[in-house]
Amino acid sequence: MNTSASDRQLSAEELDELENLLNSAHPEDSMLVDELDGFCAAAATSPEPVDEGRFLHEVLGDTTEAVASRLSASEHARLLELVGRHRRSVLARLGGERAFEAVLGVSEDGQALADAWAVGYLRGFNLQPDSWEPLDDDEVCVEAFELILRFADESDPEAEGNESEPIADEERDELVDLMIEGAQELFVRLAPARERALKPATFRHNGAQPGRNDPCPCGSGRKFKVCHGR
């Protein structure tokens, strides 16, 4: 997959700028950049397309209208631009030939922190969990998803129902790499489900064929002549 200027990975400076803008948008409920990266990965992997409005509400922690009231017009435009570019960048990198490089937090001693990324991925999954049923029929997908769950559990180790074993420091880096590799494998293996969801709707009709200017029976809202009547 070729990477255009519009879906090229954000620079470190742009990621810092995005982090600051997200914090200004909603200090309590907006996503961290590494959480956003995981969220974008899940949205890109989802077997069903994710609605743009719902996507932005999750990321910003509020409606775009409410966020616009807290920022200047230029800041608001820049925030949406950076979020959009980052989302496209994640999609391009997941579908690329090279290994996916996630945006992760780093501890004071330089160790990768993957809990926020994993939480973001789960938030993307939870937008429409029923559409991820194909995951259950693929053992590799199940194992990859379970590792994401294990890292997400680290963000709240005392949560009810959290029975994950703590991740030992000596195995953390290896498991982080395996989680990111697994996320890219999830993207690849769920590609057929995404392709089926994007196929044009088919329809059957009884009786006379609709007129060229009548609404198309497929329910698209377009005229028959520019939809299935072509």
Q: How do residues 59-104 score in pLDDT, each as one tens digit?
A: 999 999 999 999 999 999 999 999 999 999 999 999 988 899 999 9
Q: Does residue 106 or residue 148 have the better pLDDT? A: 148
Q: What's the average model confidence in pLDDT over 138-152?
A: 91
**Is residue 112 exposed (0-12), middle (13-18) or buried (19+ Cβ within 10 Å)?**
middle
Looking at residue 155, what is its pLDDT? 78
pLDDT band at 215 (very low <50, low <70, confident <90, very high): confident
In angstroms, the CA 19 to CA 199 distance is 36
Give every CB contact of residue 40 below 8 A, 6+ residues apart in sequence: 86, 87, 90, 91, 120, 124
Identify residue 95 by its one-letter amino acid code. Answer: G
Domains for the chain: give ranges and CATH numbers. 5-198 (1.20.120), 202-230 (no CATH)
d(CA 117, CA 6): 23
- Decide if 67 contacts 60 (C-beta within 8 A): yes
| pLDDT exceeds cutoff 80 at 160 | no
Read off the pLDDT band of 177 (50, 70, 90).
very high
- Give the closest residue to 165 by CA, choosing from 157, 173, 175: 157
Q: Is the pLDDT of residue 31 over 70?
A: yes
**For residue 112, what is the DSSP state?**
E
Give the closest residue to 179 by CA, choosing from 117, 96, 109, 111.
117
Give yes or no for a contact between 125 and 42, defined as CB atoms under 8 angstroms apart. yes
Cα 145–Cα 194–Cα 59 angle in degrees, nearest 5: 65
pLDDT tens profile 117-144: 999 999 999 999 999 988 888 898 899 9
pLDDT range class, residue 4, cuts 50, 70, 90: low
Tell the residue number behind the tokens 């996507």, with chain if given. Answer: 55
pLDDT band at 52 (very low <50, low <70, confident <90, very high): very high
If we measure between CA atoms, which residue out of 133, 123, 138, 14 comes closest to residue 78? 14
